[in-house]
Every structure is written in C-alpha cells, then in structure tokens.
Structure 1
Amino acid sequence: MDLNLSDEQRLLRESAERFVAESYDADHRRKMANDPLGFSPAVWKQFAELGWLALPIAEECGGLGGSAVEIGILMEAFGRGLVSEPYIASVVLGAALIERCGSMAQKQAILPKIADGSLKLALAHSERAARFDLARVATTATKTGQGWRLAGSKIAVLDGHAADEIIVSGHIHDHQGPSTRIGLFLVSATTPNVAISDYERLGGGRACNIELSDAQLPEDALLGNGHDALPAIEWAVDRAMAALGAEAVGIMQVLLDTTLEYTKIRKQFGRPLAANQVIRHRLADMAVQVDEARSMALRAALKLDADPVERARAASGAKAKIGKSARFVGEQSIQLHGGMGVTEELEVGAYFKRLVAFDTLFGGSAHHYGRHALLGRPTVPA
C-alpha cells in the first residue's frame, strides 16, 4: 500500500499549515478564549471560501468528495494552531450524519448550506448515565398528531451553543409503542422548551448541556425514514475520533518542536540542556510517541470504510494509543520546560490542556482498550 501523500494532499497540507501559522498566533488564541462565542465567524467564512467546509461532503450535495485522509491532514494543521472553530461538530459529525441518515430532500436543503458556511450543526447524543456507551439513550421521541415530542437531557454537546440546528438522538415511541430504535431529529436552537447552557471547554472552544422539556417538532424533523440510527452514530463518532487523533498529533508535534528548541537554548551549569544524554533520550522518546500516534491516526482514517468491527477496532485502538502518547508527550514537555512550562508566558500549558481534553472526549484510553478487546473476541455460535 502506498502511504505517500498525493500532490493534491500535499498542497492541502501546505495551504492549511500556512493559513494556521498566519492566522492563529498567541494573541488570537487569547482573544478567542475570552470570546463568548469561542471562535471567529470571520475565520469560519474563510474556511468556507477555502473549501474546507465542503471537503468531506459528496459532490452531488455541493461538496468536494474528500476522504478521511484529507480531513486528517486538515485536522493535524488545526492542532498546530489550537483551532477552536466548530469543524468537528458541524462538518465531521453533523454533515456526515445528514449524508448518512437524511432523506434526499434533507441532504439537498442542508449540506450546501454547511459547505458555504451559512449553517452550523451540532450532535447532541451523550447523556450522564451513558458513560460513553453510544447505545444508552434515555431521551424519548414520541409521535404526536402534529409531529414529534422530545423529552430528555444531553450533555457535552460540542459547540452546540453556536449551532443553527442540533441533531438530537432519542428512542422512538410511535403508534407501535416504545421501540429499541434510536432516531435522529433536527432541532432548531430557537425551539420552545429547549434550554441550552454553554460553558468553556478545557483547552479552548465551548460545549453545552441541553434540556428538552417536551419540545414540539414537526414531522419532517426526523432524519430519513426512522430506521435505527445507532450504526450511523457509531460510524460518525469513529470518524470524529480519527479526526481528533490527527489534531492531537499536530498538538504533540508543536510540543516536541517547542521543547527541542527550548532545550537547545536553555543552559544549566554552562551547557545547553540538550547536551545532557538523559534529556536527549527523553526527546527521542517523545519523537517516537509522535510518530506512532501519527501512524495510528492514519490507520484509523484508512479503516473508516471497512466493515463496522474492523473500523471500530481501528478507531478505538487509535484513540487509546494516541491518548496515552499525548499524555506522555505533554507531561515530558512541561517537565523539560521546568517552571516556565506552566506559565502563561509560554503556550505549553494551553497545548497540554487540549491534549487532556482529547484523552477524555468520546471515552478515555481505558474505555477504548476495553472496546477494542471486546470487538476482537470471536463470535460464539448460538
């Protein structure tokens, strides 16, 4: 298998890295951290002009038909700049679920707007009692004469405060009674009886909790024909984990480069820190972890079109491995910077916070080691 980047992929990487280097400096990140929105609408518009919002969307729906590998290239560049725009929530999760579950009318109405930046989506699926189990959904969607009635609570909705439409999951209760089917519903942020409380995320960006108190929705709020959406949700979350893994690799690379440069100029007892063999060994270990994490993120991206078990094992394996590597690289970077590593003068702490957030998002390493092992068990005949 040829794992070298194509000419188009190299151009995408170069343009993304150049844009991030020019647009995301320390002052911009501090400004976004104090912004109630958490990101810049002007930058989001630039994303649309560059074609990044249309990248994974199918060509027949106004997109560019890019693969998960291109998304990974883009996300690694985003990691270098600690980009806080809602790309994962709106494009990687939201657009993917519309494309997988929506009717043709819904796709044609929504996906072009995502591509041009005029519509932002978010996925509200996680619940307090679920503990990262995607199949555990307590929110209910009851069929009424006018449409649907949603009741329940959602937590940790990425960038839900900024979304124009929120994709909410709920167990379907229709004329046949309660079922095991999970449906996805489009809920406008201005829908009555929908309460959104947002908060700052560790490492930048914002998230929110959502309370649905018998929210009334029209009949066409249901995505598609009401088939069980759980397989699509698992597929979309695996896509998001692969993309977030690539972002973590970009963050780890910045920490490695920053630490390497610092140990060359920081002197102790008249010699640079990098002249110490023990320090060199630590830097080499950090470099190995970054390379291994990059390989796992690429493997997860390449396996996203495989069968569900193979795809899920690749995504969970990458999440677990990259989470462990990210914590190692972050901790070594802070330690080798000494007291400066935890000051606001340097951004080492900000990058480390984003890695800590990555390690827990969609489940930590322990959760995904367990998922990987469970999926690897041979099927026992009934």
Structure 2
Amino acid sequence: MDFNFSEDQQQLRDAVRRWVDKGYGFERRRAIVAGGGFDRSVWNELAELGLTALTVPEAHGGLGLGAVDAMVVLEELGRGIVLEPLAQAFVATRVLADCAPEALQGQWLPRIASGEALVMLAQQERKARYRLDVCEAKATQAGEKYTLTATKSIVPAGDKADAFIVPAQMDGQIALFLVEAGASGLTTQGYLTQDGSRAAEVMLKDAPAALIAQDGLAALELAVDTGIASACAYGVGAMEQTLHLTADYLNQRKQFGVAIASFQALRHRAADMKMQLELARSMSYYASLKMGEQREERRRALSRAKVQLGQSLRFVGQQSVQLHGGIGVTDEYAGSHYFKTLTQLEMTWGDTLHHLGEVSARMQDTAGVFA
C-alpha cells in the first residue's frame, strides 16, 4: 500500500503554501483581525485558487476531490493561521452533496464552488455543550414549506454568510434545513473570537427554510465529522509553524553567551513538542482516511483523532509559550496568535474530555486491540 501523497497533491500543497507565504503574512492577518476577523477579498483569493471548489462534485462545477486533498490544503492554511473558514465550505459541500435533494444541490453547490456563497453550519446551542442530539430549535411545516425558530451560537463568520445549515426539531426528531441569510425573521450579531476569527449569534424567528434531510442527526454527524477532520488538519499546520517559531527563537535567544537551544532541558522540551506534532499528524491522516467509512466506524475514528489532537494542541501551545518566556504572550509577536489558535481549536467541535467520553462510550469488548 502506498502511503505517499500523489504528485497532484504535492503540487496542491506547494500552491497553497506559496499563497500563504506570499499573500497571507502576519501583518495582513493582524489587519484582518483589526477589521473584524473576516475579509471577503481573501475568500475570493481562496476561490481563485480553486479551494472552495475542491470537494464539490464535478457535476456542480467543482473539482470532485476528496478528504485527503482537503487535509493537504488545510494543513497549509493552518501554517498561516488563515482566519477565513474554508473548512465550512467543505462541511457544507459534504452535507449538501450527500444529503440534500437534487434541486437544492443545483442551487447552492455551484455557488459554493465559485466562492460566491458562504454557507455556514449553525448547530451550536447554549444548552447543548457539544452534544448533537440536544436541540431546542423548532421547525414547523405547512404544506411543502418550513419555518424555523432558533438561536444558534458561535457560527463562523455568521454575519457575513449567505446561507446557514441549521438542525431543528420536527415531528419528534432532528431534521436539517438550509436558511438563506436574507430570509425574513433572521438576524445576526457578529463578534471576534479569542483567536481573532469572526463568529456570530444567529437568531431565527419563523424564518423560511428548505429541507435538506429528514434524518437530520445523521446528516449533522457527517457535517461535524467533516469539521473535526478539517480542524485536525488545520491544527497540524498550526502546530508545525509553532514549533518552527519556537526552534528559531531557541537558536537566536542567548543566555550566558550561548544560544539557549544548547541547553539540554530545553532541547528535550522541544523534542517533546515534535513528538506531539507527529502523533497529531498521524491521527489527522487517520481521521481523513476514515471519512469514507460507515457512520459508526467514522464517528469512533473521528473522536479518537480529536482526543489526540486536543492533547497535542494544548501541549505544543503551552510549551511554546514557556520556551519563549514573556514574548510568547505579547500581541506583537506571531507566536502568541498561534497559541490562541491552538487553544481555541482544542475546544472546537468538542473538547478533549468530550471526545474521550465518546471514545469510551463506543469502545467495543476488544477496545480495538484485537479487532
């Protein structure tokens, strides 16, 4: 079995890396944070690179590529801690392509592919914590029309989005809907998150909606698993750059007339950071490869991956700050922004304790050892 990336995947990685290095420097990122945490011109640049079309089926104007290709792209975006939520395009694409009626696919997938439409998953509610089966949003059906009443929190770039994928209770079960941003009864309130990205509260009051899937929980799980795989890949890229910044600092900073990289205790801590990065990378690959599996195996695998990623994200971020000293938490230094990104990622799509519970609940008699 060949575990190497294909030539096309290597070229894709190189193209995205060049864009990050040349077009998304730290100063540009800081300017975007100061301007609200989202820049539509950057989103358009991602679309011009073909990234918004990456996983959209060819029949709808996309490239028709898979989870591993998305992972390659997100690793490179993570290196530059790019604020614009490309992962949400992958989430929306997967849900619409796998679960939505043909008419809805034809309406939205070409617009996602071109970068014209930002479609965001709006699933988080205050009382739900990270549980997907806890949903107070209500959907009402009148003939073939649906309306939604809900409040959803921490929706990425929610006040900039063109549509939302929203779970809501209908007939005693969770269904999944699409709500356009201009719908009557929909309001948003945007804000910055701790890592500088943009999010919003999305409030719906009898807002018209289109049905994506009657079995909304299964579709929502697919969406969240796509998000977890994306966060894992993005986190690997962010950790890799954090380690690079830390190693550079250790080689430049001097005490007692020598670079502190020569101190054995600090070298051991840097080696531990590298080990955690590689553990996370392996589990990120595992997560992406398992995206094509059946529901139970996929859910189990993605929780396993998020446990390791959560541990690695927190360790690498905290060790980086410790090895830098005071400069590691100053706003002017890039390392502090990587630390905030890693910390926030650990809690995105379910924190480590939540997914440890998920792994435990899905553990079989063999615990995977002899399976």
* TM bracket (short chain): over 0.9
Give deviations 1:262-311, integer Å, cap 9, x for gaps. Answer: 11111111111011111111111111111111111010000011121221
Give 3-state SS (helix, strand or coil) of 2:4's partner: coil
Pair 1:330-2:328 in alignment = no
Question: Which secondary structure state, in structure 2, belongs to the residue aligned with residue 160 of structure 1?
Answer: coil
CA RMSD of aligned residues (A): 1.5
User: 2:200 matched to which residue of 1?
Assistant: 208
1:71-90 equivalent positions in 2, closer than 5 A: 71-89=70-88
Is residue 42 from structure 1 mapped to residue 51 from structure 2 by the alignment?
no
Alignment-derived partner of residue 233 in structure 1: 220
Give 1:144 shift: 2.0
Structure-2 separation of matches of 1:239 and 1:9: 19
Tell me the equivalent position of 2:369: none
Partners of 1:152 and 1:45 lie apart in 2 by 30
Distance 1:8 1:364 in 2: 34
Aligned to 1:285, the other structure's residue is in SS state: helix
Alpha-carbon offset, residue 233 of structure 1:
1.1
TM-score if structure 1 supplies the norm length? 0.93
How far did 1:376 drift? 1.6
Distance across 2 between alignment mates of 1:355 and 1:319: 13
Pick the aligned partner of 1:165 from 154, 160, 163: 163
Which residue is equivalent to 1:56? 55
What is the distance in 2 between the residues matched to 1:50 and 1:194? 32
8 Å CA contact 1:202–1:357 kept in 2: the answer is yes
Tell me, in whole angstroms, the C-alpha distance in 1 between the residues paired with 2:50 and 2:179: 26
Other-structure match for 2:297:
310
Percent of aligned pairs with the same amino acid:
40
Letter in 2 for 1:274: A
The 2-side partners of 1:346 and 1:193 are apart by: 42
One-letter amino acid of the counterpart of residue 14, structure 1: D
What residue in structure 1 maps to residue 287 of structure 2?
300
Partner amino acid, structure 1, of 2:323? L
Instruction: Encode CA deviations 1:139-193: one digit per residue, 9 max, x unaligned.
Output: 1111125722211211111221111111111111xxxxx322x222221222222
Equivalent position of 2:229 in the other structure:
242
For the pair 1:288 / 2:275, whether they are aligned, the reply is: yes
Secondary structure of 1:97's aligned partner: helix
Q: Please give the secondary structure, in 2, of the residue aligned with 1:211.
A: strand
Alignment of 1:167-186 (within 5 A): 167-172=165-170, 178-180=171-173, 182-186=174-178
Aligned partners of 2:61 and 2:113 also within 8 Å: yes
Q: Shift of the alpha carbon at 1:323?
A: 1.0
- Measure, in 1, the Cα distance between the counterparts of 2:144 and 2:242: 54
Contact 1:82/1:204, CA 8 A, preserved across alignment: no
Q: Structure 2: which amino acid aligns with 1:24?
A: Y
| Contact 1:123/1:160 (<8 A) preserved | no
Secondary structure in 1 matching 2:116? coil
The aligned counterpart of 1:368 is 355
Contact persistence 1:101–1:229 (CA under 8 A): no
Residue of structure 1 in register with 2:7 after alignment: 7
Equivalent position to 2:244, from 242, 257, 262:
257
What's the offset of the Cα at 1:47? Answer: 1.5
Deviates more, 1:9-18 or 1:154-163: 154-163
Q: For 1:309 and 1:236, how far apart are their aligned partners in 2?
A: 14
TM-score (norm 2): 0.95
Helix, strand or coil for the counterpart of 1:304?
helix
The number of residue pairs the alignment matches comes to: 366
CA distance in 2, matches of 1:106, 1:199: 30
Looking at structure 1, the residues matched to 282 and 9 of structure 2 have their Cα atoms a distance apart, in angstroms, of 17
Q: Is the partner of 1:161 in helix, strand or coil?
A: coil
Q: Aligned partners of 2:127 and 2:31: how far apart in 1?
A: 35
Q: 1 CA distance for matches of 2:38 and 2:172?
A: 39
| Residue in 2 that maps onto 1:17 | 17
Task: Give the Cα separation in 2 of the matches to 1:41 and 1:149.
Answer: 29
Match of 2:211 among 222, 227, 240: 222
- Displacement of 1:39: 2.3
Q: Is the 8 A contact 1:124 1:154 kept in 2?
A: yes
* Range 278-287 or range 43-52, more displaced: 43-52
2:292 maps to a residue whose letter is: D
1:321 aligns with 2:282: no
The code of the aligned residue for 2:181 comes to A
8 Å Cα contact 1:97-1:236 kept in structure 2: yes
How many Å separate the matches in 1 of 2:142 and 2:293?
39
2:33 is aligned to 33
Q: Which residue of 2 aligns with 1:109?
A: 107
Cα distance in structure 1, aligned partners of 2:341 and 2:99: 31
The CA deviation at 1:227 is 2.5
Instruction: Give structure 2 stretches of 5+ with no counterpart.
Output: 367-371
Contact 2:123 2:167 in 1 (8 A): yes
Q: Distance in 1 between matches of 2:219 and 2:52?
A: 20
Q: Give the letter for the 1:199 counterpart.
A: Y
Deviation at 1:42, TM superposition (A): 2.0
